[in-house]
Structure formats: C-alpha cells, structure tokens
Amino acid sequence: MAGPLAGIRVIDLSTMVSGPLATAILGDQGADVIKVEPPGQGDLIRHIGCARGGLSAIFNTINRNKRSVVLNLQDERGRALLLRLVARSDVFVQNFRPGVVERMGIGEADLRRVAPNLVYVSISGFGEVGPYAEHRVYDIVIQALSGMAASQADPKTGTPELVRNIVCDKVTAIHAAQAICAALVARARGAGGQHVRLAMLDASIAFLWPDGMQQHTYLGPGATAPAPLHGILRAFPTADGFVTLLTISDAEFQGLTRALGRPELSGDPRFSSVATRMENIEALADIVALEMRKGTSEAICARLAAEGVPAAPIRMQDSVHEDPQVVANGLLLEIEHAQCGLVRIPGPVARFASTPSEVRRLAPVLGEHTDEVLTEMGVSPVELAELRAQSALA
C-alpha cells in the first residue's frame, strides 16, 4: 500500500540541509519529490563531507526518495520549464535568502499564476524582516545567536561550545515537514494554498527554550533557580568506557543506591529529596563517579536497568548500529547505491500501520531523472534535445 502522502508532488528547490531533509521526510511518506538543481555541481551538499563515488554521505541520507532534475534557472526557457513543473505540483520548497527567488522570477506571485492552490514554503536563516534578514547563514551562526552555544558552555570557564552537529538545520526541517502537512490538510478543508514561512533562528530558539531557557520564562522576581545541568548531565567513566544516567524521582535514586552497592546513601540527609539532591549534586556526582569506575559499562547498565534507573552506555559512532535495541528497531537500512556502493542510512522514523512509509529509492545522481520527469509533463524528445542544446537543462 502507498504511503500517506502518495499523490502529492513536491518541487524541492532547496539546498544544503534544512529544506532537503524536510522534503526527504515527505518523500519517505509517499510524496513524489522532484529535486531541481542547477547545472554543473548541483546542490553544494553533494560535495561536502565524507564521500564515495563522487557523492557525499550527507547528501545520500537527506535526499533519499527524490528524483533529480537539472534546470538552468538563469535561462528563461529553464524558468519556463520550472513553471510547467509547478503547475502540476502541490508544494514548492525553497530556502534562499529573502528576495532571491523574486529576483530570479520564481517568487510566490510568479508561481501562483500557474498554481493558485500551491503550498509555497520559504525557509530562511533569520526571517524575512529585521536587521539580519539578508545575511548569509550556516548552522553555527544560528547556534551562536539562539543561545544554543551558550547553553553548552564549559561549566568551569564559561566558554561557549558549539554543538558538533548540524542541529539547527535539522530542527528546522522537522518543523517544515510538519507545517507542510498541516498546510495540505488546511487546503483539503477549503483554505486554499498558502505561504508557509519558517526561520532557522525561530525554530532553534523554540527548540532550546523549554529546558535551556527556563530561567527566562518567568518574568519578574519569585521564580526558583533551575538545576545546575552540568552537574546532572555527565558521562561517567567506567572500567571500559562511559555511562550516562539520570535519577529524578526518589524511587529512581533509591534504585541507584542499590545498583551501586551504596544503600546507605538513601539515608544521607544531603540526598533525602529531589531538592536536596539538586543542592548537593556535585557531591552526589563525585560518589557516583567513584563507584562507576569499578565495573564495565555493560555490567553497570545491567544493574541499573534491574533497579529501574534510566541509564545507557555511551556508544561510539562506529558501534551505534550494533546496539541490540537499534538492531531490534530496524531503523538502519543497508542498500546498494548504483554510484556509491553499499550504504547504511536511517529509514523513516514514523511507522504507519496502514499506509507504510519506506525508502523507495536512494539519493539521485545529478540530473538522473531530467528526461523522465520532463517527458511525463509532455516535453518531446525533440524538445529535450533542443533545450539541452540551448543550455536550458542538463
């Protein structure tokens, strides 16, 4: 059976990570996603990071379930082909800086003339107004401005630390995929097509806020201070690796004392309640750290699990796929790619009982589907040859 978004066509003009990951999620759920790329190098993310066969691993992961069409949008004939594609589509996604697509002649007004019910999606770095709106942006810039880097600061020196992951782009992508689905539901209920706008800065601040900005939620005096997260969120060394754990309730703490062979800690007045444990978190963490070094990660985690304590060994990146729970979930797929050989990528996260999501195809070679897609919309072989000779497509 087809996925829940079967029959929905998405034109993806976005680049790098935020837009492409959003449309990959839609593709997982059955949408026909057509990735429109410029001639030459295509989407820049094709060439960034770990690569094989001329294709980056990042691109391979976030451009699954898409068809690639190469159009020269600097050429009037290329833009005309894009408009013909849009006229047969439901969603258009772009993540250029504000004003760029309008100058290219493919802004919302241009596209609505051929597709009045289109869901038009604009993903920007900072938003469409304000002093930074037209500035270039990458993930680390948003980490800096959103407070994310400050939230990772070294507890001893106060020096901010960047998250070594493209987290802001990916958080924005998840918001975008959800918003697109909501806009499609609204359209089906009679609201018509609409413009959906998202800023990476907004998505990142909203993501960080519930716990990372709790001390700035209540305005004015009277709020208690938040727990010192640097004392709670730790990687404890063991005899052969690292373990992380968290106890919040009294029952979890008592389980921890039993698992560590230190039941007397349950009667220590410093640790008698959640509040006192937070006040004395450094002393408690020192005790836990001492006991953790006495066993292997697997043995310690087994004892903690038996006592109902949330804990896990810290997996190195090269062993995540071997964890028995990861294996049981079946998330990671190993599939042969025609250009890159055997690849391992995550499959769809959301599992639908009646309309299954799936990886139908791996990331496309640049322009792999140009002729196929344009033929579907009525372009003849003669026209294709002429357009190619005129550099309108590749």
Are 256 and 245 in contact by the 8 Å Cβ rule? The answer is yes
* Residue that has been written with the tokens 């560590």 in this structure: 260
Q: What's the CA gap between 302 and 259, in Å, rounded?
A: 9
Q: What's the CA gap between 105 and 41, in Å, rounded?
A: 22
Whether 169 is catalytic is yes
Of residues 230, 223, 170, 224, the one with CA closest to residue 200: 170
Token representation of residue 194:
């609409």
Q: What's the CA gap between 89 and 83, in Å, rounded?
A: 10
Q: What's the CA gap between 88 and 98, in Å, rounded?
A: 25
Q: What's the CA gap between 27 and 58, in Å, rounded?
A: 16
Q: DSSP string covering 35-52, please?
A: EEE-TTT-SGGGGSSSEE
Axis crossing angle, helix 167-186 with helix 139-146, rounded to the nearest 10: 90
- Catalytic site residue from 12, 169, 202, 323: 169
95-133 burial code (b ≥16 CB/10 A, e <16): bbebeebeebebbbebbbeebeebbbbbbbbbbeeeebe
End-to-end alpha-carbon separation of the chain, Å?
34
Are 163 and 151 in contact by the 8 Å Cβ rule? The answer is no
* Residue that has been written with the tokens 């090269």 in this structure: 318
Name the β-bridge partners of 11: 34, 92
List the beta strands (DSSP E) in 9-168.
9-12, 32-37, 51-52, 55-56, 66-70, 91-94, 119-124
Task: Give me the active site residues, please.
Answer: 169
